[in-house]
Structure formats: structure tokens, C-alpha cells
Amino acid sequence: MSAALLEATSLDKSYGRIRVLRDVSLTIGAGESHVVIGPNGAGKTTLFKVLTGELYADRGAVRFEQRDVTRMPAHRRVHLGFGRTFQVAKVFPKLSVQDNLRVALEARVRRGNAFGRVPKAQAAAFPGTIESLLTDTGFGAQRDSISGTLAYGDRKRLEMAMVLALEPAVLFLDEPTAGMSAAERQATVELLKTVKRKRRLSMLMTEHDMAVVFGLADRISVLHYGQLIASGTPEEIRHNDKVKEVYLGDGDEDHA
């Protein structure tokens, strides 16, 4: 396995008396696609929030490139190389596709300072960067489309393009194909494969569609009631009796 880029050790998180994460440990290797699966309420979204800094763990540690980021806020983790998409796409609905990308590029340069000036040399590079992002994410013909008028799957794709503008080292994808048609899901799988290869990204995602999971994952971890019950290659998870019992059942490819 590749060297660990992101490492979580013995994470615990509770909401009041409800213990949502229970001693969860996992790693993401450099260049790895790691998918976290599990039933609704298993703790997947909470795990994402703890890893990205939206929430802090009650116990345990998170390390990125061997640096302790356990108590580092989300915006500082973005500056280190974290990028995240959400179950509901977050775009600027009144701006065009390319203007959404420009906003993301300006945010990267300003590093959280909304009133900071963008140096001329960096601003001059924006058109080329935007063109590259439009090409990589298939938006060439829709560059001038207002994002609020885009189809749902296209808005999700635009959000991904905006995150890529931040030049992340690890991309967190929370249910990237939720609400998509079968054709949109397949297109998203191919897009993620292409983006990962061209930009040499690591990815951690949650996903319910097993065709997407097995189509993308190098490694799969399974959460059940906040506990990590299995972690391994897709084939190891596919044939794991405990995972079949609590989640996959007999028809793993059709599970949603």
C-alpha cells in the first residue's frame, strides 16, 4: 500500500449521550481512492466532518502528511490541501460556470482573506487555469451557462470543479452521485477516474451505490453503528461475511 497521506487514529465523537464514532482508525494512501460505506446513521458524515475540521473529535487524532491537524479548523486544512464536496451541491447560482471557477481561484489565492488583493501575475494565469478546469470536467460548451439553471448532476460536477480549483491533495466526496440518474452516475465515475489520474489526487468518499463503490475504490472501509467493522480491497469486502450480514446482503451490486 502507498504511504499514508491522511491518518485517523482511535477517533471518538458523541452528540450528547449518543456515541456516533467509536474508536475509528483509517488511513488514506497517496493516490488512493478510499470509500467509506455503511447503513444510514452509521457515522459516515460525522467521520467526514471530523476529518475535514468541521467538527473536532472528542478523542483520537488526525494527521495529514505526518502533521497533527486534530484541532486545526476547516479553513486551515483547506490551505494544507483538503478539498470537500457535499451531498447537496454548493455553487453560486447566479454566476456562470466560469465565474464560479474564478471565485474559487480567487479564494485560493486570498487564502480566506475576502478583502485581499489578487496579485496581477496570478490573476493573469486564471484564464488558462479556468480553461483547463473546464476541459477536465467537461464544461467547455457550458462555460457561460448560469449555474442555477444547470441540471442537478451538472451542479454537482461544477462543485467538484470549484474544489479542484483549490488544488487539493486529498478530495473528500460526500455522496457524489446522490440523486443522479444512472447515466449521470456512470459519467461521474468516469470523471472521477480521469481527474484522479490527471491531477494525482487521493480521494475519500462516502457512497451508497455499490456499482459506483466497486467501480472507484482501491480500498473500502465499512462503518456500522459508529464502529469500523472491516477495511480492505473491494474483493475482500465483497466476500466478507460480516459486511454481507450488516450491509451488503447477497446482492451487493444492487444495494443502494
Please report the pLDDT score of residue 255 as a whole number.
45
Please report the pLDDT score of residue 90 as a whole number.
86
Let me know whether 154 and 43 are in one domain.
no
Please report the pLDDT score of residue 111 as a whole number.
66
Q: pLDDT digits over 97-124, tens only?
A: 999 999 999 888 776 555 567 767 777 8
Grid cell in block for residue 52:
475535514
Distance CA 37, CA 254 (A): 14
Let me know whether 125 and 193 are in one domain.
no
Please report the pLDDT score of residue 140 as a whole number.
87
Let me know whether 97 and 154 are in one domain.
yes
Distance CA 97, CA 155 (A): 9
Residue 88 counted as domain residue: no
Distance CA 249, CA 188 (A): 25
Q: How many helices (H) and strands (E) does the chain have?
A: 9, 10
Show which of 106, 134, 166 is a domain's final residue: 166
Residue 32, domain extent: 1-81+168-256
pTM: 0.86
CATH code where residue 244 lies = 3.40.50.300
Low pLDDT (below 70) residues in the chain: 1-2, 111-116, 119, 249-256
Residue 87 counted as domain residue: no
